[in-house]
Amino acid sequence: MIDGLLVVDKPAGWTSHDVVAKLRGATRQRRIGHAGTLDPDATGVLLVGLGRVTRLMRFLQETTKSYRGVVAFGVATSTLDAAGEELARREMPEIDEAAVRAATLPFLGDIEQVPPMVSAIKIGGQRLHELARQGKEIDRPPRPVRIDRFDIEDFTPGPFPVATVLVDCSSGTYIRTLAADLGEALGGFAHLASLRRLRVGAFTLDDATPLDVLVEEPAPYVLTPADALRGMRTLTVDDAIAAAIANGKVFDGATVAAEGVGPFAMLDAAGTLLAVYEWKGSRLKPSVVIPATDPPAGGADQPAHGEETARE
């Protein structure tokens, strides 16, 4: 069994599930999952965990993300992106780059978004995209997200202007919703014409490898479990503490010199990941312990946690 992380540069035309299935075959690994879904048309950074690293995926999924998107003004679609049916069209020659920049400002900081009907989240036990395929639309409660950056990288004026945007945001942000809301803020329509994910947490496109390269020979690109958590605060412990961690021991912060909010990646002297600990009140408790050996996965796929997506 391989324990590690692959940082994939996902090509267009592949679902995130397709990528996992392809890499399952390439790695001969059944225990595999991804963090943070990308739509088939979207490209960029997709994190795929192998073996015991599948147990760590929620920590990677909950990190901030960065995107480059192309917003097409003047056209509304059923999916808020280029894959949907056109619902409305109206020329917007009056908007210019300055107007678009000004319109982005109210979206910065903590905001609420209504998830699109094509998202993968569940309401009432059903995934929204499944209801959408049945032609149904239901009320969706808004969800809190945070936008740390919403910049205009490029702008093309005209009857149907186009803006290239750069977005830094929290987990759970819907970039397609941001595009549609920007069009509404400017008094018209907009949809997301294309999307590329530039970063997931500490991993950027510089760390990513094209899928076709990984399929040919994945082994050289597998990151260790410790490196998979490179963006997390680390604590290096001695052999006695390492043995206690293996048994799931709870600690006070002083015992392991833990300061700050956590979570903490616990490493032994050799730099091997032992566990991830989080605060529960005033005590540090293990959220995931990585044993020296792990029982067989029983053939079951270990998917990434949650439904957070870039465009779904």
Residues 63, 151, 159: CA angle, nearest 5 degrees: 130
The two three-digit tokens of residue 276, written as one number? 């991830």
CB atoms within 10 A of CB 293: 6
Q: Is the dihedral of CA 21, 307, 223, 66 positive or negative?
A: positive
* Nearby residues of 308 by Cβ (< 8 Å), 6 or more positions away: 36, 37, 61, 62, 171, 172
Fill in the amino acid letter for 216. E
Per-residue three-class SS string for 110-161: EEEECCCCCCCCEECCEEHHHHHHCCCCCCCCCEEEEEEEEEEEEEECCCCC
Q: Of 3, 9, 39, 181, which residue is the catalytic one?
A: 39
CA distance 200 to 100: 26
3-state DSSP assignment of residue 165: strand
E strand residue ranges, the chain: 4-10, 32-35, 43-50, 65-73, 75-77, 86-89, 109-113, 122-123, 126-127, 143-156, 162-169, 190-200, 203-204, 209-210, 233-236, 251-252, 264-267, 273-280, 283-289
Active site residue 39: yes
As annotated, the active-site residues are 39
